[in-house]
């Protein structure tokens, strides 16, 4: 425990020093000044010893178990005064250095006796991972106001920063309620082109001939068609590339961050639809694996697997990732490959292994489009250097479109999506696959 002298003490001490200037009048004034200062020091020491002890107060830090990256997260410091008088506190909390502070981390407040008061500040995590809070430093004024007693209360603890799941939950909510969340997002229809029989009804113009139930038609004397429901308990497996190209930043987030947000969105929607969700994260080797399972407990497992994954400055091994997937997942699955493509060599390896999944599985390659490249292609060059850069950007985009066209031609699915629309477009595609019964 430490102490700090207050401004009141220094004002009283200054008065004593002022009286010291009267020492030339006589020794009595000098002795009086010395005695005054000694008495002041003794009173201050007594004030320190007789003031409240740290056990008279309770300091707690309240925060969520999980922080969301890129979102404002609140931290609350609660002070409970169990002493017999109102006490003034100065509080300073030690927050993780890797987070951005949106408010002041210091506050002064007075807590009445037997009461509690709370103070809240906000933090903005800019990266996923595990972070540590330190202790909370508290100063409180002594009874006579001559001394601040300073105590570090043991509130240290860790917090995990997860991807921002608000968008994922929004997609899950709308899919569950069978509503359209925003323009461009499909509804998850209960009846559609799935494989599971749901009911019979009278044929209407526009129904497919292949769905007519001829046996029911013969019994009822009129055309009867079968209705199907979207099949549940299908496998959705996300293959997440954490290699070199995913280190690129788009805004404040890396491409891997955008891909992880999209993976969580599809996991939430798939879980709401009753499907099994699995995960394979890889770079040069497989980093994390979750076998496909259903239910919201699987969502928690996905989040635990993803929160600490960081992109690595090495080339990903598609061969190891696809071989691992094929060896561990035998049931037909929608395989969503979240990656990025730049050159023909990398895309050739990816396409070669993706083609091997067809027709046993349904692959969906999703690449994160570079907004800067597209803007560069459509901008007006002002110099020879700009022309060269524009030509390179056009070449990269052409190679990417060519690679995605090849996978579509082989019977797979492909998307090239800007980072800001990645989750939305991916959820759309998943719902389309379900409605059309492609899986």
Per-residue pLDDT of the chain (439 residues; tens, 9 = 90+): 566 676 777 777 777 766 666 656 666 767 777 787 787 788 777 777 767 787 889 999 999 888 888 888 999 999 999 888 888 888 999 999 889 999 888 898 889 988 999 999 999 998 888 899 999 998 887 777 777 788 889 999 999 998 877 767 666 655 554 444 444 444 444 444 445 556 778 877 767 777 788 888 888 888 888 776 556 689 999 999 999 889 988 877 889 999 998 999 899 888 888 899 999 999 999 999 999 998 888 988 998 899 889 999 998 999 999 999 999 999 999 999 999 876 666 678 888 888 889 889 999 999 887 666 666 666 777 777 777 777 777 777 777 777 777 777 777 888 888 888 888 889 889 988 887 778 7
* Non-local CB neighbours of 117 within 8 Å, separated by 6+ positions: 78, 79, 109, 111
DSSP class of residue 30?
A: H
The alpha carbon of 93 is separated from its chain's Cα centroid by a whole number of angstroms, namely 23
Q: What pLDDT, on a 0 to 100 scale, did the predictor assign at position 245?
A: 87
Handedness of CA 334, 335, 338, 339 (dihedral sign): negative
Cα(424)–Cα(430) distance, integer angstroms: 10
Asked if 225 and 201 count as a contact pair (C-beta separation under 8 A), the reply is yes
Go through the chain and tell me how many residues it has: 439
Across the beta sheet with 73-81, the strand order is 57-63, 73-81, 116-125, 99-101
Q: What is the pLDDT of residue 335?
A: 95
Distance of alpha carbon 177 from alpha carbon 166, whole angstroms: 17
pLDDT at site 217: 86
Instruction: Give me the torsion for CA of 413, 416, 417, 418, rounded to 10°.
Output: 170
**Cα–Cα distance, 372 to 192 (Å, whole number):** 39
Q: Which runs of consecutive H residues, i.e. helices, occur in 191-343?
A: 214-220, 255-272, 296-306, 318-328
- The confidence score (pLDDT) of residue 185 equals 46
Instruction: Give residue 171's pLDDT.
Output: 64
**Which pLDDT score, from 0 to 100, does residue 186 have?**
45
CA distances from 37 to 17, 40, 148, 149, 320 (A): 8, 5, 19, 21, 79
CATH superfamily, region 55-162: Immunoglobulins (2.60.40.10)
Task: Report pLDDT for 118.
Answer: 93
Six token digits for residue 414? 């492909």
**Predicted local confidence at residue 280, as pLDDT:** 96
> Which residues neighbour 397 within 8 Å (Cβ) at sequence distance 6 or greater?
373, 374, 377
Distance of CA 172 to the CA centre of its chain: 16
Q: In this structure, are strands 87-93 and 106-111 parallel, antiparallel, or unpaired?
A: antiparallel
Q: What gap in Å lies between CA 263 and CA 240, rounded to an integer?
A: 8
| Complete DSSP assignment for 62-117 | EE-SEEETTS-EEEEEEEEE-SSS-EEEEEEE---TTEEE-S-SEEEEEE-TT-EE
Predicted confidence at residue 371, as pLDDT, reads 60
CATH code 3.40.50.720 for 166-186+233-436: no
Provide CB contacts within 8 A for 186, sequence distance 6+.
180, 428, 431, 432, 435
Tell me the domain boundaries of the chain.
6-50, 55-162, 166-186+233-436, 195-229
Distance CA 68, CA 126 (A): 9
């Amino acid at each position: 425990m430490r102490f700090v002298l207050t401004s009141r003490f220094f004002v009283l001490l200054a008065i004593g020093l002022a009286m010291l200037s009267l020492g030339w009048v006589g020794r009595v004034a000098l002795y009086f000044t010395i005695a005054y200062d000694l008495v002041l020091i003794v009173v201050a020491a007594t004030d320190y010893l007789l003031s409240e002890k740290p056990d008279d107060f309770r300091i707690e830090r309240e925060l969520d178990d999980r922080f969301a990256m890129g979102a404002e997260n609140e931290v609350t410091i609660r002070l409970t005064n169990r002493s017999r008088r109102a006490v003034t506190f100065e509080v300073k909390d030690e927050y993780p250095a890797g987070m951005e502070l949106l408010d002041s981390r210091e506050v002064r407040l007075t807590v009445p006796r037997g009461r509690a008061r709370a103070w809240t500040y906000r933090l903005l995590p800019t990266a996923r991972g595990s972070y540590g809070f330190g202790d909370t430093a508290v100063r409180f004024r002594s009874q006579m106001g001559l001394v601040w007693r300073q105590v570090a209360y043991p509130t240290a603890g860790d917090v995990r920063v997860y991807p921002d799941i608000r968008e994922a939950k929004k997609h899950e909510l709308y899919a569950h309620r069978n509503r359209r969340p925003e323009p461009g997002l499909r509804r998850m229809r209960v009846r559609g082109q799935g494989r599971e029989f749901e009911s019979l009804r009278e044929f209407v113009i526009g129904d497919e001939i292949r769905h007519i139930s001829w046996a029911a038609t013969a019994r009822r004397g009129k055309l009867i068609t079968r209705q199907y429901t979207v099949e549940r308990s299908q496998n959705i497996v996300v293959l997440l590339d954490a290699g070199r190209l995913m280190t690129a930043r788009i805004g404040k987030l890396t491409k891997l961050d955008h891909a992880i947000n999209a993976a969580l969105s599809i996991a939430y929607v798939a879980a709401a639809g009753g499907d099994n969700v699995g995960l394979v994260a890889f770079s040069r080797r497989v980093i994390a694996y979750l076998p496909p399972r259903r239910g919201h407990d699987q969502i928690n497992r996905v989040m635990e697997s993803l929160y600490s994954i960081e992109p690595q400055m090495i080339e990903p091994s598609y061969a190891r990732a696809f071989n691992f997937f094929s060896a561990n997942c035998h049931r037909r699955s929608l395989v969503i490959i979240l990656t990025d493509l730049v050159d023909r060599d990398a895309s050739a390896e990816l396409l070669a292994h993706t083609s091997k999944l067809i027709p046993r599985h349904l692959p969906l390659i999703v690449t994160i489009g570079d907004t800067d490249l597209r803007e560069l292609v459509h901008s007006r060059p002002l110099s020879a250097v700009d022309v060269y850069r524009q030509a390179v950007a056009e070449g990269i985009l052409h190679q990417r479109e060519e690679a995605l066209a090849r996978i579509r031609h082989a019977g797979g699915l492909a998307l090239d999506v800007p980072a800001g629309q990645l989750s939305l477009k991916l959820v759309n595609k998943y719902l389309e696959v379900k409605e059309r019964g492609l899986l």
